[in-house]
Structure 1
Amino acid sequence: MRCCKLWLLVLLIQLSAGCSVLGKVKQATVEAGAASWKAQPLALRQQYPQWIQRVYFTAELQTSDIRQWQLHLISRRELGPGTATAMAELVYMAGGELQTTEFALKLQQVSGPDATQDYHRYTYQFGADAATFYQTYLQQRFAGQAKPLQLYYLQPLFKASPVDLAPVIRLEYTLLPEYGAKTVGELMRLMFNLQERDWVEFCQNPPLPV
């Protein structure tokens, strides 16, 4: 408990603001704070006030390996072979401009209806090229040169082989496996540094499917 209190104020400052002079110190601080938080059992972490949980969830997410992130399309029926070729955009603001880069997604798993689910689940993950980009983004973010990654843009896109998404009922994210799959709304509510304008942007341009 004392360990978490020690890091809390520092994390609040570091996650909500940036300082280019303290870039490396800032990243080390967030990584250490996230590590101290993860050392506690999940059941114990969930007893803290919601705003504290959001601070540390954000710290964990910012220091996670993007190659472990999973995007799930949940569909009423099979979506066809076009799902094997998917892309996703990583989007953030830096230097007053929107930085958008597309990366190929790997179709890791397709599971059909069974005793535990009555739908089809398509699971995607990023590759090494996205990890390199994400590390560059983190360096800018911790140096105060970039805004938070706009996760509400994150979804599988099918540009090479169009896919009929009408049967899709929702999009889920497993970005930190210990927390399980989340909808985009649940994920956004867990983020400490999302502002009101982020919600406005999300409502105006929601992911497809929501």
Structure 2
Amino acid sequence: MYSLNGRFIYKVMINVILVMSICACSTMGKVAKVSFISVKEIYAVQPESIRTNYPDWMKRTFFTSELLTTDYEKWRVRLHSKANLEQYFLNNKTFTELEYELNFETHRMTVELLFEQKIEVLQDNEQYYAYDFSFSNSGKSLWKDYQNHFYEMEKPWFNYPVSPELPANIKREIESILYNYAPNWGYLSLREFMELFELNTERRWEDFCFWNNYQYDDSSVCGDIRIEDDLDAMQGANN
């Protein structure tokens, strides 16, 4: 596995890990950016047979490097549903909130999700409709701000698991959400994303589950006990 440029890959990845562990230091900004981009480019040119054989810690470093340097224009979100919702998405706008936290302040922006296509997919031996969305250009400035803070080692935190804002009757039809922020890794479930993102600590995901801000199925991450946040469902339960 380490033939060809294996030693170079190893040295670059060790540098990336060291950069991620360094405390705030603005002089490291350019080094961090170059290191992350180098690891992303290394992964992109590796054959699939080599990618699948990397140990988990290398996969996490590869994924995290691409995630932190990804192009906003390439972000995609996929909604899985057994219902045919194409006409709804064609005729209605869908929004979500992008946000990052820095120095105990939350920077938030509402952006439109642009419907691209409906396809049929097979997952876990079940047939679903998959609805793909890109992100409108209005959110690009927020992502750039986050990246600038990150490269300056100011330790911002970007909240990647976005929740599309949908009416309750449409939301109930959504089985799961898949995320593609790193094109070389394709669409990932919330669990897969969690396990690959190097900067996700156990405390981060405990907070995620505790605050229950996620409006869709989070059972693969948080377990089966969830607080119901659907107002209509709550009212129905009380009747």
Which position in structure 2 is the counterpart of 1:142? Answer: 151
Task: Give the 5 Å matches for 1:1-210.
Answer: 1-17=6-22, 18-79=24-85, 81-83=87-89, 84-112=92-120, 118-152=127-161, 154-158=162-166, 164-204=170-210, 205=212, 207-210=214-217
Q: Is the 8 A contact 2:26 2:152 kept in 1?
A: yes
Once residues 179 and 113 of structure 1 are traced to their aligned partners in structure 2, the CA distance between those partners, rounded to angstroms, is 18
CA gap of 1:125–1:97, structure 2 versus 1, over 3 A, is same
Q: Which of structures 1 and 2 has the larger relative contact order (alpha carbons within 8 angstroms, sep 6+)?
A: 1
The alignment-based identity, stated in percent, is 23
Instruction: Give the secondary-structure state (helix, strand or coil) at the position aligned to 2:106.
Output: strand
TM-score of the superposition, structure 1-length normalised? 0.87
Once residues 77 and 103 of structure 1 are traced to their aligned partners in structure 2, the CA distance between those partners, rounded to angstroms, is 25
Letter paired with 1:7: V
Instruction: Give the secondary-structure state (helix, strand or coil) at the position aligned to 2:114.
Output: strand
Instruction: Give the secondary-structure state (helix, strand or coil) at the position aligned to 1:151.
Output: coil
CA positional deviation for 1:134: 1.1
Letter paired with 1:180: G
CA positional deviation for 1:75: 0.9
CA positional deviation for 1:169: 1.0
Q: Is the 8 A contact 2:113 2:134 kept in 1?
A: yes
Unaligned runs of 5+ in 2: 1-5, 218-239
Once residues 21 and 138 of structure 2 are traced to their aligned partners in structure 1, the CA distance between those partners, rounded to angstroms, is 28
